[in-house]
């Protein structure tokens, strides 16, 4: 089944449900290639025993802590592979890699390891695309922009209609009017571009049902 990943952006404003076994609305995506799936998840902070268990997301038990103590600050994530990519899905408002790659050594973008992250940043807008192309650097772009690196990902963003007019290309009123009219389609366009760039496809039914493997990731 080929679903692409534009559906993730199309549901970016869909409200989550506590009764839902998986994810649907407000998903952030991090995908990486050039390293193994377990290797990347360990870099994010996953526990080795949890990785070995391959527990489906719908069956993942989040620890509640002991009486009088706060619950451990962890985020349940869902993960899988597509081609030579490993992908991580999170619906807590942000992407763990995006919050940690600048300060956590294991998350730094190393040469020959490519990472593309789409983080919704509900707690610290704007939504971002972050691309570490494998040269040890990471380039960021707000939704509606490209990274400015003239990369294949930038080309995909433009071809998907995910790059909107901006100052100084247009006057502020024109830019504001364009965002007002077309802004609702930005998330789907961004995810469509990332999917096209990486030839990524993720089954929405499996994600919504919580059938993919999962682990708990500590907040960075």
Of residues 62 and 28, more confidence is placed in 28
Residue ranges making up the domain that contains 127? 6-218
Range in 47-51, 58-62, 200-204 the model is least confident about: 58-62
Neighbours of 174 (CB within 10 A): 13
Bigger pLDDT: 71 or 8? 8
Q: What percent of the chain has pLDDT over 70?
A: 92
Per the domain annotation, does 89 fall within a domain?
A: yes
Please indicate, yes or no, if residue 87 is contained in any of the structural domains.
yes
Residue 56 lies in a domain: yes
pLDDT at 144 over 70: yes
120 to 130, 171, 193: CA distances (angstroms): 11, 27, 16
- Whether residue 1 lies inside any domain: the answer is no
pLDDT at 174: 86
Which H or E run includes 140? strand 139-142
Average pLDDT over residues 138-157: 97
- Residue 76 in domain: yes
- pTM score of the predicted model: 0.92
pLDDT confidence of 126, banded at 50, 70, 90?
Answer: very high
pLDDT in the model for residue 158: 96
User: For residue 51, how many other CB atoms are within 10 A of its CB?
Assistant: 16
Answer yes or no: is pLDDT of 70 > 50: no
Residue 19: pLDDT band (50, 70, 90) is low
Other Cβ atoms closer than 10 A to 102: 11
- Nearest-angstrom CA–CA distance, 83 and 81: 7
What pLDDT, on a 0 to 100 scale, did the predictor assign at position 121? 94
Does residue 84 sit within a domain? yes
Distance, in Å, from the CA atom of 220 to the CA atom of 218, rounded to the nearest integer, reads 6
Please report whether residue 54 resides in a domain.
Answer: yes
Query: For residues 112 and 134, what is the distance between their CA atoms, to the nearest angstrom?
Result: 4
Mean pLDDT of 164-184: 84
Mean pLDDT of the chain, nearest integer: 91
CA angle 32, 162, 175 (to 5 degrees): 140
130 pLDDT higher than 50: yes
pLDDT band at 13 (very low <50, low <70, confident <90, very high): confident
Output DSSP code: residue 14. P
Question: Is residue 176, in this structure, part of any structural domain at all?
Answer: yes
The whole-number average pLDDT for the span 108-123 is 94
Task: Work out the average pLDDT over 104-126.
Answer: 94
Q: Are 134 and 153 in contact (CB under 8 A)?
A: no
Give residue 188's region: left, alpha or beta (phi > 0; psi -120 to 50). alpha
Q: Is pLDDT larger for residue 204 or for residue 19? A: 204
Number of separate domains in the chain: 1
Who's near 187: CB < 8 A, 6+ residues apart?
Answer: 8, 9, 10, 12, 13, 127, 143
């Amino acid at each position: 089944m080929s679903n692409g990943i534009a559906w993730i952006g199309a549901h970016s404003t869909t409200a989550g449900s506590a009764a839902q076994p998986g994810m649907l609305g407000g998903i952030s995506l991090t995908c990486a290639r050039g390293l193994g799936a377990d290797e990347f998840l360990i870099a994010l902070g996953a526990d080795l025993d949890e990785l070995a268990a391959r527990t489906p997301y719908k069956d993942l038990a989040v620890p509640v802590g002991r009486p009088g103590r706060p619950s451990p600050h962890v985020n349940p994530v869902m993960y899988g592979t597509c081609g030579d990519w490993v992908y991580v899905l999170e619906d807590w408002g942000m992407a763990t890699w995006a919050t940690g790659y600048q300060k956590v050594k294991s998350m730094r973008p190393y040469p020959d390891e490519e990472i593309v992250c789409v983080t919704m940043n509900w707690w610290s807008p704007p939504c971002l695309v972050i691309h570490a192309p494998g040269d040890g650097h990471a380039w960021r772009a707000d939704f509606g922009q490209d990274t400015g690196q003239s990369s294949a990902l930038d080309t995909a963003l433009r071809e998907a209609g995910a790059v909107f007019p901006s100052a100084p290309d247009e006057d502020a009123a024109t830019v504001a009017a364009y965002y007002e009219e077309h802004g609702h389609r930005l998330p789907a366009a961004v995810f469509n571009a990332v999917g096209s760039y990486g030839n990524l496809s993720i089954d929405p039914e499996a994600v919504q049902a919580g059938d993919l493997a999962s682990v708990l990731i500590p907040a960075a």
